A and B are shown apart, each in its own frame.
Chain A
Amino acid sequence: MPDPKEKKYAKPLPHLDEENRPWWEALKRHELYIQKCRDCAEIRYYPRALCTNCLSSRTEWIRAKGRGTVYTFTATYQNGAAGFRESLPYIMAYVELDEGLKMLTNLVECRPEEVKIGMPVEVVYEDVTPEVTLAKFRPAR
């Protein structure tokens, strides 16, 4: 039996660039951040250089609590792409953070039939490569 840890990570990885690197580096430290505009106080996810409300470049990084609720979800039973076809079924969801922003993510440590919309969840950090950590969610404990 091959050790699964030896297998190359086959799922798509994000393209890191100077705009998004602080966010991904925070995830690597197991910290989840959202952005807030220093001029108009609008919050946003995913991270970007400008506020979409007032186009200000003055951005504050706010540490998210890492808790939220399931806004919607689906259990996927068919995906032919490498990395996913070996992990069927998997659960994809929008989680609405307590801070009020929705993130697309995976729900882990639960079976599809246990998931309910509105269910409280908490972040778990999955270190998928030395550079990339993904924020996934599990039922809140």
Chain B
Amino acid sequence: MSLSRKTAVAGVYEHPTRFAPDKSMFQIMAESVRGALDDAGLTIKDVDGLATTGMGMGGMGIIGFADYLNLTPNYVDSTAIGGSSFVAHTAHAAAAIAAGLCEVCIVVYGSTAASSRFAIGTGGAGGSSDPPDQYDAPFGVTTVGAYAMIAQRHMHDYGTTSEQLAEIAVTMRLHASMNPVAKYRDPITVADVLASRVISSPLHLLDCCIISDGGGALVITSAERARSLKKKPVYILGVGEAVRHAARGQRDYLDIAAAQSGKLAFERSGVAHKDIDMAMIYDSFTITVLSTLENLGFCKRGEGGAFVSGGRLRYDGAFPINTDGGGLSSNHPGMRGIFLVIEAAKQLRGECGPRQVKNCKTALVHGTGGALGTRHSGATLILSNH
């Protein structure tokens, strides 16, 4: 059974806040739900599916959020695989709707990561009592450190440079300068990135995503119902998800989850790489983007450094990505998978103003959760406006 074009993203909303000490996580989430339902032209009474997870949320937080909004959904999904969770939630919602488990599913995320002063990337301390953590946590593994080791190996094997990684950060900042709600909007240069302090070698401060508050929500429904709603449907063509980990001590660390989830999404969608007009690639760090593009097959392994150079990734370049400014410049409230889907949908609806990608018909979304250098998940969606 193919999922292609059976379901659609019918409503999206990105909460404009980047710093909200006056709001709770659930309030940000609820305001995001209201925004996405308004965008779709639906009401809370139409909602019969709910998907969420969160960093500050308890293990059964989805029930708490249903309580907060007095929702009694027929379908719930609290898949928690890090920042990619909301991309996976979208995939699962599409399958659930196609299978008849629900009709209108909300995917929502919110966080006060900045105002609650989470040390997300550099707060590496104790892990859980799960077996793998016993062999990582004693050595001071941080999120940025785990990604930095991927960058170091990539540089060693393929001659990738800090300048090439820096161009990714520079491009994201250019895009953020065209996004009125982005947190950091002043242009930066490659020299600025290289001059910023090293957090975990070879990654500099400006190779790392920011920390903000924020939230967002999606409305997923059947393609048929979406066609009757306010906005142009953004059809879900293909989905894929995967994990990578230590592989009993035998992993090739430059092989990441995107290789598997991307292949699945392309096969399931029937779309080819050349058909992708823009992509939203989780940019926790500059190396995340480079490695993801290689593993998704947009360039060969080892060629990522050249691929991201020369303005290719700009909104007006040959392969535009992260036109909202990404996690590197716009927002990163702990996890940002939801924003990848929101911006891709807006691009496909032609709502992006000065940063609009011309003639944008098909987009790819790839979320990464966890850390490339230890354990992580990848979730891929291929979306289209026709």
Which A residues are closer than 8 A to B by beta carbons?
11-15, 19-20, 34, 42-46, 48, 52, 71-84, 90, 92-94, 100-106, 112, 117-118, 128, 132, 134, 136
Residue of B123, B144, B201, B249 near A102 (CB, 8 A) is B249
Stretch at the interface among B148-156, B174-182, B257-265, B335-343: B148-156
Q: Are A100 and B152 in contact (CB under 8 A)?
A: no
Chain A's closest residue to B148 (CB) is A74
A–B complex contacts, Cβ < 8 Å, 13 sampled: A12-B137, A14-B137, A15-B134, A43-B249, A45-B249, A76-B144, A76-B148, A77-B200, A80-B123, A81-B140, A92-B145, A106-B140, A117-B153
B124 within 8 A of A: yes
Residue among A19, A78, A82 with max Cβ neighbours from chain B (10 Å): A78
Stretch at the interface among B54-62, B125-133, B302-310: B125-133
Residue among B132, B141, B249 with max Cβ neighbours from chain A (10 Å): B249
Chain B's closest residue to A20 (CB) is B134
The A contact surface, by secondary structure, is loop
Q: Are B125 and A76 in contact (CB under 8 A)?
A: no
Residues on the B chain within 8 Å of A15, using CB: 129, 134
B72 within 8 A of A: no
Q: State the CA gap A128–B138 with chains docked (Å).
A: 10
- The answer to whether A84 and B125 touch (CB under 8 A), given A78-B200, A117-B156, is yes
Q: Are A101 and B139 in contact (CB under 8 A)?
A: no
Q: Are B248 and A79 in contact (CB under 8 A)?
A: no
Residue of B126, B248, B373 near A45 (CB, 8 A) is B248
Residues on the A chain within 8 Å of B129, using CB: 15
Residue of A46, A74, A75, A136 near B249 (CB, 8 A) is A46
Residue of B140, B246, B248, B249 near A76 (CB, 8 A) is B140
- A-B pair count, CB < 8 Å, reads 133
Q: Are B248 and A105 in contact (CB under 8 A)?
A: no
Residues on the A chain within 8 Å of B253, using CB: 71-72, 94, 102
Chain A's closest residue to B203 (CB) is A74
Residues on the B chain within 8 Å of A77, using CB: 197-201
Give 15 A-B pairs besides A77-B200, A82-B125, A93-B149 with Cβ atoms closer than 8 angstroms: A12-B127, A34-B249, A43-B248, A44-B249, A52-B248, A72-B149, A73-B149, A74-B145, A74-B149, A92-B139, A92-B141, A102-B253, A112-B201, A128-B138, A136-B139
Chain A's closest residue to B139 (CB) is A106
Which B residues are closer than 8 A to A by beta carbons?
119, 122-127, 129, 131-132, 134-142, 144-145, 148-150, 152-153, 156, 197-203, 246, 248-251, 253, 373-374
Q: Are B145 and A76 in contact (CB under 8 A)?
A: yes
Residues on the A chain within 8 Å of B249, using CB: 34, 43-46, 101-103
Q: Are B250 and A101 in contact (CB under 8 A)?
A: yes
Chain B's closest residue to A14 (CB) is B134
Q: Are B140 and A11 in contact (CB under 8 A)?
A: yes
Residues on the A chain within 8 Å of B200, using CB: 74-78
Residues on the A chain within 8 Å of B197, using CB: 77
Q: Are A78 and B125 in contact (CB under 8 A)?
A: no
Residues on the A chain within 8 Å of B119, using CB: 80
- The answer to whether A46 and B139 touch (CB under 8 A), given A74-B200, A92-B145, is no
Q: State the CA gap A34–B149 with chains docked (Å).
A: 23
- The answer to whether A73 and B139 touch (CB under 8 A), given A100-B250, A104-B374, is no
Residue of A48, A79, A93, A132 near B123 (CB, 8 A) is A79
Residue among A12, A94, A112 with max Cβ neighbours from chain B (10 Å): A12
- Give the Cβ gap from A123 to chain B, nearest Cβ, in Å: 13
- Give the Cβ gap from A105 to chain B, nearest Cβ, in Å: 6
List 7 tightest A-B contacts by C-beta distance, closest first.
Answer: A81-B125, A45-B249, A101-B249, A12-B126, A74-B148, A72-B153, A14-B134
Chain A's closest residue to B125 (CB) is A81
Residues on the B chain within 8 Å of A14, using CB: 134-135, 137-138
Q: Are B139 and A104 in contact (CB under 8 A)?
A: yes
- Give the Cβ gap from A109 to chain B, nearest Cβ, in Å: 15
Residues on the B chain within 8 Å of A46, using CB: 131-132, 134-135, 246, 249
